[in-house]
A and B are shown apart, each in its own frame.
Chain A
Amino acid sequence: MPKIVYIEANGQRHEADVETGMSVMQGALNFGIPGIDGDCGGACACATCHVYVAAGETRPVPPISDAEKAMLAFALDVTPESRLSCQIEVGPDLDGLEVRLPTAQK
Protein backbone atom coordinates (compact mmCIF):
# COMPACT_ATOMS: atom_id res chain seq x y z
CA MET A 1 0.00 0.00 0.00
CA PRO A 2 1.34 3.48 -0.79
CA LYS A 3 2.67 5.38 2.18
CA ILE A 4 1.73 9.00 2.72
CA VAL A 5 3.63 11.14 5.21
CA TYR A 6 1.59 13.74 7.08
CA ILE A 7 3.55 16.43 8.87
CA GLU A 8 1.70 18.47 11.46
CA ALA A 9 2.38 22.19 11.79
CA ASN A 10 4.40 21.41 14.94
CA GLY A 11 6.65 19.07 12.97
CA GLN A 12 5.11 15.82 14.20
CA ARG A 13 5.35 13.22 11.39
CA HIS A 14 2.83 10.46 10.77
CA GLU A 15 3.38 7.77 8.16
CA ALA A 16 0.15 6.17 7.02
CA ASP A 17 -0.53 3.37 4.58
CA VAL A 18 -3.30 4.60 2.33
CA GLU A 19 -5.26 2.33 0.06
CA THR A 20 -4.86 3.00 -3.66
CA GLY A 21 -7.82 4.99 -4.93
CA MET A 22 -8.46 6.72 -1.63
CA SER A 23 -7.78 10.41 -1.25
CA VAL A 24 -4.97 11.84 0.85
CA MET A 25 -7.77 13.32 2.98
CA GLN A 26 -9.50 10.00 3.62
CA GLY A 27 -6.14 8.48 4.46
CA ALA A 28 -5.64 11.17 7.09
CA LEU A 29 -9.13 10.69 8.52
CA ASN A 30 -8.64 6.95 8.72
CA PHE A 31 -5.36 7.41 10.51
CA GLY A 32 -6.74 10.07 12.84
CA ILE A 33 -4.25 12.74 11.76
CA PRO A 34 -5.05 15.87 13.78
CA GLY A 35 -5.60 18.92 11.59
CA ILE A 36 -7.50 17.40 8.68
CA ASP A 37 -11.24 17.58 9.24
CA GLY A 38 -12.65 16.73 5.82
CA ASP A 39 -16.08 17.81 6.95
CA CYS A 40 -17.77 17.37 3.56
CA GLY A 41 -16.40 13.90 3.00
CA GLY A 42 -14.41 14.80 -0.08
CA ALA A 43 -17.06 16.64 -2.08
CA CYS A 44 -14.73 19.65 -2.48
CA ALA A 45 -17.31 21.67 -0.57
CA CYS A 46 -15.75 22.70 2.73
CA ALA A 47 -11.98 23.37 2.45
CA THR A 48 -11.17 21.73 5.77
CA CYS A 49 -8.60 19.32 4.31
CA HIS A 50 -6.04 21.92 3.31
CA VAL A 51 -2.44 20.68 3.03
CA TYR A 52 0.80 21.89 1.48
CA VAL A 53 2.59 19.89 -1.18
CA ALA A 54 6.16 21.06 -1.70
CA ALA A 55 6.69 23.00 -4.91
CA GLY A 56 9.56 20.69 -5.82
CA GLU A 57 7.51 17.51 -5.46
CA THR A 58 8.45 15.12 -8.26
CA ARG A 59 5.73 12.51 -7.75
CA PRO A 60 2.82 12.93 -10.20
CA VAL A 61 0.37 14.71 -7.91
CA PRO A 62 -2.81 15.30 -9.93
CA PRO A 63 -3.19 18.88 -11.17
CA ILE A 64 -5.39 21.36 -9.38
CA SER A 65 -8.90 21.80 -10.80
CA ASP A 66 -10.83 25.05 -11.06
CA ALA A 67 -13.24 23.87 -8.38
CA GLU A 68 -10.36 23.12 -6.04
CA LYS A 69 -8.77 26.50 -6.75
CA ALA A 70 -12.01 28.24 -5.92
CA MET A 71 -12.59 26.26 -2.73
CA LEU A 72 -9.02 26.80 -1.57
CA ALA A 73 -9.84 30.45 -1.16
CA PHE A 74 -11.87 29.34 1.88
CA ALA A 75 -8.82 27.98 3.62
CA LEU A 76 -6.52 29.93 5.90
CA ASP A 77 -2.84 30.58 5.23
CA VAL A 78 -3.06 29.68 1.56
CA THR A 79 0.23 29.58 -0.37
CA PRO A 80 1.15 28.47 -3.90
CA GLU A 81 1.82 25.01 -2.37
CA SER A 82 -1.73 24.72 -1.03
CA ARG A 83 -3.95 21.82 -2.06
CA LEU A 84 -7.17 20.26 -0.87
CA SER A 85 -6.20 16.76 0.10
CA CYS A 86 -9.62 15.35 -0.85
CA GLN A 87 -8.71 16.06 -4.46
CA ILE A 88 -5.45 14.08 -4.41
CA GLU A 89 -6.09 10.43 -5.18
CA VAL A 90 -3.47 8.06 -3.87
CA GLY A 91 -1.82 5.61 -6.24
CA PRO A 92 1.43 3.62 -6.19
CA ASP A 93 3.24 6.49 -7.91
CA LEU A 94 2.54 8.76 -4.93
CA ASP A 95 4.22 6.38 -2.49
CA GLY A 96 6.25 8.42 -0.01
CA LEU A 97 4.47 11.73 -0.72
CA GLU A 98 4.87 14.25 2.08
CA VAL A 99 2.11 16.71 2.86
CA ARG A 100 2.44 19.43 5.47
CA LEU A 101 -0.55 20.58 7.49
CA PRO A 102 -1.48 24.19 8.19
CA THR A 103 -1.79 25.46 11.75
CA ALA A 104 -5.59 25.71 11.54
CA GLN A 105 -8.32 24.63 9.18
CA LYS A 106 -10.97 27.14 10.14
Chain B
Amino acid sequence: MTETVIVLGAGQAAAQLVLSLRQGGFRGRVAVYGDEADPPYQRPPLSKAYLRGEMPASRLALRAPALYARQEIEIVPGARATKIDRVARKVSFDGRADESYDRLALCLGSRPRPIPIPCACPDALLYLRSRADADALRDRIASSRDVVILGAGYLGLEIAASLVDRVRSVMVLETATTVLARVAGRTIAAHFEAVHRRHGVGIQLGVSAMRIAAGADGRAVVHASDGTAYPADIVVAAIGGVANDQIARDAGLDCDGGILIDARGLTSDERIVAAGDCAVMRPAAGARALRVESVGNAIEQAKAAAATLCGGEYAADPLAWFWSDQFDLKLQTVGIPDRTAAEIVVGDLAADRFAVCYVRDGRLVAVDAVNLPECLIEAKRLIRSSEPFDETNMRNVAAGAAARAPATGSGR
Protein backbone atom coordinates (compact mmCIF):
# COMPACT_ATOMS: atom_id res chain seq x y z
CA MET B 1 0.00 0.00 0.00
CA THR B 2 1.32 3.38 -0.99
CA GLU B 3 1.92 5.66 1.94
CA THR B 4 2.84 9.11 0.64
CA VAL B 5 1.79 10.86 -2.52
CA ILE B 6 3.61 14.12 -3.16
CA VAL B 7 2.05 16.42 -5.74
CA LEU B 8 4.14 19.11 -7.40
CA GLY B 9 2.07 22.00 -8.69
CA ALA B 10 -1.19 23.30 -7.25
CA GLY B 11 -3.49 24.11 -10.15
CA GLN B 12 -6.60 22.54 -11.65
CA ALA B 13 -5.00 19.15 -12.26
CA ALA B 14 -3.50 18.97 -8.78
CA ALA B 15 -6.79 19.84 -7.07
CA GLN B 16 -8.67 17.24 -9.08
CA LEU B 17 -6.00 14.61 -8.56
CA VAL B 18 -5.91 14.86 -4.76
CA LEU B 19 -9.69 14.98 -4.36
CA SER B 20 -10.03 12.01 -6.71
CA LEU B 21 -7.36 10.19 -4.68
CA ARG B 22 -9.44 10.52 -1.54
CA GLN B 23 -12.65 9.64 -3.39
CA GLY B 24 -10.83 6.59 -4.68
CA GLY B 25 -10.10 5.51 -1.13
CA PHE B 26 -6.45 6.50 -0.80
CA ARG B 27 -5.76 6.88 2.93
CA GLY B 28 -2.07 7.72 2.93
CA ARG B 29 -0.43 11.09 3.21
CA VAL B 30 -1.23 13.56 0.43
CA ALA B 31 0.74 16.80 0.18
CA VAL B 32 0.54 19.40 -2.59
CA TYR B 33 3.43 21.79 -3.17
CA GLY B 34 2.74 24.81 -5.37
CA ASP B 35 5.05 27.69 -6.16
CA GLU B 36 2.29 30.31 -6.14
CA ALA B 37 0.88 32.07 -3.09
CA ASP B 38 -2.66 30.74 -3.46
CA PRO B 39 -4.23 27.34 -3.01
CA PRO B 40 -5.61 25.87 -6.26
CA TYR B 41 -7.66 28.40 -8.18
CA GLN B 42 -9.37 28.79 -11.54
CA ARG B 43 -7.27 30.31 -14.28
CA PRO B 44 -9.92 30.86 -16.99
CA PRO B 45 -11.45 33.95 -15.31
CA LEU B 46 -8.03 35.63 -15.12
CA SER B 47 -8.42 36.87 -18.70
CA LYS B 48 -12.15 37.48 -18.39
CA ALA B 49 -14.30 38.49 -15.39
CA TYR B 50 -11.42 38.67 -12.92
CA LEU B 51 -9.34 40.84 -15.24
CA ARG B 52 -12.29 43.20 -15.59
CA GLY B 53 -12.70 43.41 -11.83
CA GLU B 54 -16.11 41.76 -12.04
CA MET B 55 -15.18 38.73 -9.98
CA PRO B 56 -13.64 38.90 -6.51
CA ALA B 57 -10.47 36.98 -5.72
CA SER B 58 -12.39 34.90 -3.17
CA ARG B 59 -14.37 33.35 -6.04
CA LEU B 60 -11.28 32.12 -7.86
CA ALA B 61 -10.62 29.27 -5.43
CA LEU B 62 -11.47 25.88 -6.90
CA ARG B 63 -12.38 24.52 -3.48
CA ALA B 64 -12.65 25.99 0.00
CA PRO B 65 -9.45 25.53 2.02
CA ALA B 66 -11.54 23.80 4.67
CA LEU B 67 -12.31 20.98 2.24
CA TYR B 68 -8.64 20.08 1.85
CA ALA B 69 -8.26 20.19 5.60
CA ARG B 70 -11.27 17.91 6.11
CA GLN B 71 -9.88 15.48 3.58
CA GLU B 72 -6.47 15.64 5.24
CA ILE B 73 -4.81 17.02 2.15
CA GLU B 74 -1.85 19.26 2.87
CA ILE B 75 -1.67 22.29 0.58
CA VAL B 76 1.70 24.00 0.78
CA PRO B 77 1.88 27.26 -1.17
CA GLY B 78 5.07 29.14 -1.98
CA ALA B 79 7.05 25.92 -2.37
CA ARG B 80 9.16 25.65 -5.50
CA ALA B 81 10.52 22.19 -6.24
CA THR B 82 14.05 22.21 -7.61
CA LYS B 83 15.00 18.57 -8.06
CA ILE B 84 13.52 15.09 -8.21
CA ASP B 85 15.77 12.26 -7.05
CA ARG B 86 14.13 9.16 -8.51
CA VAL B 87 16.53 6.75 -6.86
CA ALA B 88 16.14 8.09 -3.33
CA ARG B 89 12.49 9.00 -4.14
CA LYS B 90 12.66 12.49 -2.77
CA VAL B 91 12.00 16.01 -3.94
CA SER B 92 14.17 19.01 -3.09
CA PHE B 93 12.73 22.47 -2.69
CA ASP B 94 13.96 26.01 -2.71
CA GLY B 95 14.37 26.97 0.95
CA ARG B 96 12.62 24.04 2.62
CA ALA B 97 13.32 20.47 3.63
CA ASP B 98 13.30 17.58 1.16
CA GLU B 99 10.16 15.44 0.92
CA SER B 100 10.20 11.69 0.41
CA TYR B 101 7.57 10.07 -1.75
CA ASP B 102 6.24 6.66 -2.53
CA ARG B 103 4.42 7.99 -5.57
CA LEU B 104 4.88 11.39 -7.16
CA ALA B 105 2.36 13.38 -9.20
CA LEU B 106 3.58 16.13 -11.50
CA CYS B 107 0.93 18.79 -12.11
CA LEU B 108 3.40 21.54 -12.92
CA GLY B 109 1.31 23.40 -15.48
CA SER B 110 2.69 25.60 -18.20
CA ARG B 111 4.15 29.06 -18.46
CA PRO B 112 3.76 31.75 -21.09
CA ARG B 113 6.09 31.40 -24.04
CA PRO B 114 8.55 34.28 -23.77
CA ILE B 115 8.69 36.62 -26.75
CA PRO B 116 11.99 36.10 -28.56
CA ILE B 117 12.65 39.78 -29.26
CA PRO B 118 14.72 42.50 -27.60
CA CYS B 119 12.82 44.56 -25.06
CA ALA B 120 14.20 47.84 -23.73
CA CYS B 121 11.20 48.32 -21.42
CA PRO B 122 10.89 45.15 -19.36
CA ASP B 123 8.58 46.94 -16.92
CA ALA B 124 6.05 47.49 -19.69
CA LEU B 125 6.06 43.87 -20.85
CA LEU B 126 3.50 41.66 -19.14
CA TYR B 127 2.38 38.07 -19.44
CA LEU B 128 -0.81 36.48 -18.15
CA ARG B 129 -0.79 33.11 -16.53
CA SER B 130 -1.13 33.44 -12.77
CA ARG B 131 -3.36 35.41 -10.47
CA ALA B 132 -0.32 37.56 -9.65
CA ASP B 133 0.05 38.29 -13.38
CA ALA B 134 -3.63 39.27 -13.59
CA ASP B 135 -3.31 41.52 -10.54
CA ALA B 136 -0.27 43.21 -12.07
CA LEU B 137 -2.11 43.72 -15.34
CA ARG B 138 -5.16 45.14 -13.56
CA ASP B 139 -2.96 47.55 -11.63
CA ARG B 140 -1.32 48.77 -14.80
CA ILE B 141 -4.55 49.14 -16.78
CA ALA B 142 -5.81 51.87 -14.48
CA SER B 143 -2.98 54.16 -15.59
CA SER B 144 -2.63 52.96 -19.17
CA ARG B 145 -4.01 54.52 -22.32
CA ASP B 146 -2.64 52.34 -25.07
CA VAL B 147 -2.24 48.58 -24.88
CA VAL B 148 -0.52 46.38 -27.44
CA ILE B 149 -1.23 42.66 -27.30
CA LEU B 150 1.14 40.28 -29.06
CA GLY B 151 -0.73 37.22 -30.28
CA ALA B 152 -4.33 36.74 -31.44
CA GLY B 153 -4.99 33.33 -29.95
CA TYR B 154 -7.79 32.82 -27.44
CA LEU B 155 -5.83 34.40 -24.61
CA GLY B 156 -4.83 37.49 -26.59
CA LEU B 157 -8.37 38.01 -27.85
CA GLU B 158 -9.93 37.47 -24.42
CA ILE B 159 -7.57 40.06 -22.96
CA ALA B 160 -8.43 42.46 -25.79
CA ALA B 161 -12.16 41.97 -25.21
CA SER B 162 -11.74 42.49 -21.48
CA LEU B 163 -9.70 45.68 -21.80
CA VAL B 164 -10.98 47.54 -24.87
CA ASP B 165 -13.51 49.62 -22.97
CA ARG B 166 -11.06 50.33 -20.16
CA VAL B 167 -8.33 52.07 -22.16
CA ARG B 168 -7.97 54.43 -25.12
CA SER B 169 -6.72 51.83 -27.53
CA VAL B 170 -6.05 48.13 -27.79
CA MET B 171 -3.97 46.90 -30.72
CA VAL B 172 -3.45 43.18 -31.35
CA LEU B 173 -0.47 42.15 -33.48
CA GLU B 174 -0.51 38.67 -34.96
CA THR B 175 2.12 36.98 -37.08
CA ALA B 176 -0.37 34.69 -38.83
CA THR B 177 -2.72 35.99 -41.49
CA THR B 178 -5.83 35.34 -39.40
CA VAL B 179 -6.71 35.48 -35.72
CA LEU B 180 -7.00 32.14 -33.86
CA ALA B 181 -4.83 30.60 -36.57
CA ARG B 182 -3.74 27.57 -34.55
CA VAL B 183 -6.99 26.88 -32.74
CA ALA B 184 -10.00 27.59 -34.95
CA GLY B 185 -11.05 27.46 -38.57
CA ARG B 186 -11.39 30.35 -40.98
CA THR B 187 -15.08 30.99 -40.31
CA ILE B 188 -14.60 31.46 -36.58
CA ALA B 189 -11.44 33.50 -37.18
CA ALA B 190 -13.17 35.89 -39.58
CA HIS B 191 -16.20 36.24 -37.32
CA PHE B 192 -14.23 36.91 -34.15
CA GLU B 193 -11.98 39.36 -35.96
CA ALA B 194 -15.03 41.30 -37.20
CA VAL B 195 -16.64 41.37 -33.77
CA HIS B 196 -13.43 42.61 -32.17
CA ARG B 197 -13.04 45.35 -34.79
CA ARG B 198 -16.68 46.38 -34.26
CA HIS B 199 -15.91 46.82 -30.57
CA GLY B 200 -12.92 49.00 -31.36
CA VAL B 201 -10.08 46.51 -31.03
CA GLY B 202 -7.31 47.19 -33.54
CA ILE B 203 -5.98 44.06 -35.21
CA GLN B 204 -2.92 43.89 -37.43
CA LEU B 205 -2.41 40.52 -39.09
CA GLY B 206 0.65 39.14 -40.81
CA VAL B 207 3.07 41.26 -38.82
CA SER B 208 5.54 40.34 -36.13
CA ALA B 209 6.84 42.47 -33.32
CA MET B 210 10.58 42.87 -33.94
CA ARG B 211 11.64 44.79 -30.84
CA ILE B 212 10.24 46.81 -27.99
CA ALA B 213 12.03 50.13 -27.61
CA ALA B 214 11.81 52.88 -25.02
CA GLY B 215 10.01 55.92 -26.41
CA ALA B 216 10.96 59.51 -25.70
CA ASP B 217 7.91 59.88 -23.45
CA GLY B 218 9.01 56.97 -21.28
CA ARG B 219 6.45 54.64 -22.82
CA ALA B 220 7.23 51.52 -24.80
CA VAL B 221 7.22 51.44 -28.57
CA VAL B 222 6.57 48.17 -30.35
CA HIS B 223 8.36 48.09 -33.71
CA ALA B 224 6.60 45.74 -36.10
CA SER B 225 7.93 43.89 -39.13
CA ASP B 226 5.94 46.13 -41.50
CA GLY B 227 7.82 49.19 -40.24
CA THR B 228 4.97 50.49 -38.10
CA ALA B 229 5.73 51.69 -34.57
CA TYR B 230 3.04 51.21 -31.91
CA PRO B 231 3.44 53.28 -28.75
CA ALA B 232 2.12 51.47 -25.69
CA ASP B 233 1.87 51.94 -21.95
CA ILE B 234 1.86 48.18 -21.63
CA VAL B 235 2.59 45.29 -23.95
CA VAL B 236 0.94 41.96 -23.16
CA ALA B 237 2.57 38.93 -24.75
CA ALA B 238 0.17 36.03 -25.36
CA ILE B 239 1.91 33.82 -27.89
CA GLY B 240 1.22 30.44 -26.35
CA GLY B 241 2.48 28.32 -23.51
CA VAL B 242 5.38 26.06 -22.71
CA ALA B 243 5.12 22.98 -20.49
CA ASN B 244 6.86 23.22 -17.14
CA ASP B 245 8.78 20.00 -17.68
CA GLN B 246 12.33 21.09 -16.87
CA ILE B 247 12.45 19.39 -13.49
CA ALA B 248 11.17 16.17 -15.11
CA ARG B 249 13.72 16.36 -17.92
CA ASP B 250 16.48 16.96 -15.37
CA ALA B 251 15.29 13.81 -13.60
CA GLY B 252 15.53 11.83 -16.84
CA LEU B 253 11.81 11.32 -17.45
CA ASP B 254 10.79 10.98 -21.10
CA CYS B 255 9.62 14.35 -22.37
CA ASP B 256 8.65 15.68 -25.78
CA GLY B 257 7.25 19.18 -25.50
CA GLY B 258 5.88 18.08 -22.13
CA ILE B 259 6.11 15.12 -19.79
CA LEU B 260 5.14 12.02 -21.76
CA ILE B 261 2.36 9.99 -20.15
CA ASP B 262 0.28 6.99 -21.13
CA ALA B 263 -3.50 6.70 -20.90
CA ARG B 264 -3.18 5.88 -17.19
CA GLY B 265 -1.21 9.03 -16.52
CA LEU B 266 2.04 7.15 -15.95
CA THR B 267 5.32 8.74 -16.97
CA SER B 268 8.36 6.70 -17.97
CA ASP B 269 8.86 6.08 -14.23
CA GLU B 270 6.09 3.86 -12.89
CA ARG B 271 6.18 5.66 -9.55
CA ILE B 272 5.48 9.01 -11.17
CA VAL B 273 2.28 10.23 -12.80
CA ALA B 274 1.67 13.55 -14.53
CA ALA B 275 -1.46 15.46 -15.56
CA GLY B 276 -2.59 18.75 -17.03
CA ASP B 277 -0.73 21.37 -19.04
CA CYS B 278 2.71 19.93 -18.22
CA ALA B 279 1.83 16.51 -19.62
CA VAL B 280 1.51 15.21 -23.13
CA MET B 281 0.00 11.90 -24.16
CA ARG B 282 2.58 9.59 -25.70
CA PRO B 283 1.57 9.53 -29.36
CA ALA B 284 0.97 6.43 -31.42
CA ALA B 285 3.92 5.39 -33.56
CA GLY B 286 4.43 7.89 -36.34
CA ALA B 287 2.00 10.44 -34.86
CA ARG B 288 2.94 13.81 -33.44
CA ALA B 289 2.66 14.50 -29.71
CA LEU B 290 -0.14 17.00 -29.11
CA ARG B 291 -0.13 18.84 -25.80
CA VAL B 292 -3.53 20.20 -24.83
CA GLU B 293 -3.94 23.14 -22.46
CA SER B 294 -7.47 23.06 -21.15
CA VAL B 295 -9.47 22.63 -17.99
CA GLY B 296 -11.19 19.54 -19.36
CA ASN B 297 -7.89 17.92 -20.24
CA ALA B 298 -6.45 18.67 -16.80
CA ILE B 299 -9.48 17.15 -15.08
CA GLU B 300 -9.57 13.99 -17.17
CA GLN B 301 -5.83 13.34 -16.94
CA ALA B 302 -5.90 14.00 -13.20
CA LYS B 303 -8.73 11.52 -12.69
CA ALA B 304 -6.83 8.92 -14.70
CA ALA B 305 -3.65 9.51 -12.72
CA ALA B 306 -5.50 9.37 -9.40
CA ALA B 307 -7.14 6.09 -10.35
CA THR B 308 -3.74 4.65 -11.24
CA LEU B 309 -2.33 5.70 -7.86
CA CYS B 310 -5.32 4.03 -6.19
CA GLY B 311 -4.62 0.84 -8.11
CA GLY B 312 -7.68 1.21 -10.29
CA GLU B 313 -8.49 2.43 -13.75
CA TYR B 314 -10.34 5.40 -15.15
CA ALA B 315 -11.31 5.62 -18.79
CA ALA B 316 -10.60 9.26 -19.51
CA ASP B 317 -12.97 11.02 -21.89
CA PRO B 318 -10.79 11.57 -24.96
CA LEU B 319 -13.06 14.24 -26.42
CA ALA B 320 -11.44 17.65 -25.97
CA TRP B 321 -13.64 20.56 -24.94
CA PHE B 322 -12.94 24.25 -24.48
CA TRP B 323 -14.79 27.47 -24.04
CA SER B 324 -14.03 31.14 -24.54
CA ASP B 325 -16.13 34.18 -23.62
CA GLN B 326 -15.50 37.34 -25.62
CA PHE B 327 -17.98 40.22 -25.65
CA ASP B 328 -21.36 38.55 -26.18
CA LEU B 329 -19.85 35.55 -27.90
CA LYS B 330 -19.93 32.37 -25.88
CA LEU B 331 -17.82 29.94 -27.83
CA GLN B 332 -17.84 26.26 -26.96
CA THR B 333 -15.71 23.71 -28.75
CA VAL B 334 -15.65 19.93 -28.84
CA GLY B 335 -12.89 18.10 -30.63
CA ILE B 336 -9.79 19.77 -32.03
CA PRO B 337 -10.64 22.17 -34.90
CA ASP B 338 -8.33 21.74 -37.81
CA ARG B 339 -7.91 23.88 -40.89
CA THR B 340 -7.46 20.86 -43.13
CA ALA B 341 -11.11 19.94 -42.49
CA ALA B 342 -14.05 21.31 -44.45
CA GLU B 343 -16.06 23.91 -42.53
CA ILE B 344 -19.83 23.71 -42.70
CA VAL B 345 -21.72 26.54 -41.01
CA VAL B 346 -25.16 25.98 -39.53
CA GLY B 347 -27.32 28.52 -37.73
CA ASP B 348 -27.25 32.28 -38.13
CA LEU B 349 -23.85 33.99 -38.49
CA ALA B 350 -25.34 37.48 -38.54
CA ALA B 351 -27.15 36.85 -35.26
CA ASP B 352 -23.98 35.53 -33.55
CA ARG B 353 -25.74 32.21 -33.12
CA PHE B 354 -24.13 29.53 -35.22
CA ALA B 355 -21.90 26.50 -35.25
CA VAL B 356 -19.02 25.54 -37.46
CA CYS B 357 -18.80 21.82 -38.17
CA TYR B 358 -15.33 20.56 -39.08
CA VAL B 359 -15.71 17.59 -41.40
CA ARG B 360 -13.02 15.35 -42.80
CA ASP B 361 -13.61 12.25 -44.93
CA GLY B 362 -17.32 12.56 -44.27
CA ARG B 363 -16.88 12.44 -40.51
CA LEU B 364 -17.35 15.21 -37.97
CA VAL B 365 -14.08 15.88 -36.12
CA ALA B 366 -14.89 19.04 -34.19
CA VAL B 367 -17.49 21.76 -33.67
CA ASP B 368 -17.14 25.40 -32.69
CA ALA B 369 -20.50 26.61 -31.45
CA VAL B 370 -21.14 30.30 -30.83
CA ASN B 371 -24.11 30.95 -28.54
CA LEU B 372 -25.51 27.67 -29.77
CA PRO B 373 -24.79 24.87 -27.31
CA GLU B 374 -27.57 22.73 -28.76
CA CYS B 375 -25.34 21.83 -31.68
CA LEU B 376 -22.66 20.56 -29.32
CA ILE B 377 -24.87 17.80 -28.03
CA GLU B 378 -25.40 16.37 -31.46
CA ALA B 379 -21.73 16.98 -32.23
CA LYS B 380 -20.52 15.06 -29.18
CA ARG B 381 -22.73 12.14 -30.08
CA LEU B 382 -21.63 12.16 -33.72
CA ILE B 383 -17.91 12.49 -33.01
CA ARG B 384 -18.07 9.59 -30.56
CA SER B 385 -20.03 7.43 -32.97
CA SER B 386 -18.68 6.33 -36.31
CA GLU B 387 -21.70 7.66 -38.14
CA PRO B 388 -21.14 9.89 -41.16
CA PHE B 389 -21.80 13.60 -40.75
CA ASP B 390 -25.38 14.52 -41.65
CA GLU B 391 -25.49 18.18 -42.62
CA THR B 392 -29.27 18.34 -42.88
CA ASN B 393 -29.68 16.92 -39.42
CA MET B 394 -27.23 19.45 -37.95
CA ARG B 395 -29.05 22.29 -39.74
CA ASN B 396 -32.29 21.07 -38.21
CA VAL B 397 -30.72 21.00 -34.76
CA ALA B 398 -29.56 24.59 -35.21
CA ALA B 399 -32.89 25.72 -36.60
CA GLY B 400 -34.77 23.98 -33.86
CA ALA B 401 -32.61 25.39 -31.10
CA ALA B 402 -34.46 28.67 -30.77
CA ALA B 403 -37.82 26.97 -30.69
CA ARG B 404 -36.76 24.02 -28.56
CA ALA B 405 -38.79 23.43 -25.46
CA PRO B 406 -36.57 23.89 -22.40
CA ALA B 407 -34.98 21.09 -20.52
CA THR B 408 -36.96 18.14 -21.71
CA GLY B 409 -36.13 14.89 -23.39
CA SER B 410 -33.42 12.43 -22.58
CA GLY B 411 -30.72 15.02 -23.06
CA ARG B 412 -28.29 12.38 -24.06
Contacts and interface: CB of A to CB of B under 8 A. Distances in A.
Interface string B374-411: 10110010000000000000000000010010111111
Contact of A74 (B64, B299, B401, B411): B411
Given A32-B70, A46-B321, A22 B59 contact: yes
Interface of A: 22, 26, 29-32, 34, 37, 39-41, 43-46, 64, 67, 69-80, 82, 106
A80 B71 CA distance: 35
Nearest to A31: B67
Contacts of B296: 39, 46
A30 B406 contact: no
Contacts of A43: 44, 323, 325
B44 A73 contact: no
Interface of B: 19, 23, 42, 44-45, 59, 61-64, 66-67, 70-71, 295-296, 299, 317, 321, 323, 325, 330, 332, 372-374, 376-377, 380, 401, 404, 406-412
Give the one of A29, A37, A77, A79 with max B CB within 10 A: A29
The DSSP consensus for interface residues of chain B is mixed
A54 to B, nearest CB: 15
A32 B72 CA distance: 13
B75 to A, nearest CB: 14
A76 B59 CA distance: 27
Nearest to B58: A19
B45 A70 contact: no
A45 B333 CA distance: 10
Contacts of B401: 70
A78 B376 CA distance: 17
A41 B70 contact: no
Given A26-B59, A45-B332, A106-B317, A74 B66 contact: no
B295 A41 contact: yes
Contacts of B42: 41
A62 B277 CA distance: 36
A40 B323 contact: yes
Contacts of B71: 32
Contacts of B406: 64, 69, 72
B17 to A, nearest CB: 14
A80 B67 contact: no
Nearest to A19: B58
Contact of A32 (B63, B332, B374): B63
A78 B325 contact: no
B210 to A, nearest CB: 37
A78 B408 contact: yes
Given A39-B295, A41-B62, A69-B407, A74 B376 contact: yes
B412 A30 contact: no
Contacts of A34: 23
Given A30-B64, A32-B19, A46-B321, A75 B45 contact: no
A39 B412 CA distance: 18
A82 B407 CA distance: 7
Contacts of B380: 74
List the 7 shortest-distance A-B pairs measured between CB atoms, nearest first.
A30-B64, A78-B411, A69-B406, A45-B323, A70-B373, A41-B42, A72-B407
A80 B373 CA distance: 19
A70 B371 CA distance: 9
Residue among B44, B59, B299, B407 with the most chain A CB within 10 A? B407
A80 B408 contact: yes
A13 B179 CA distance: 49
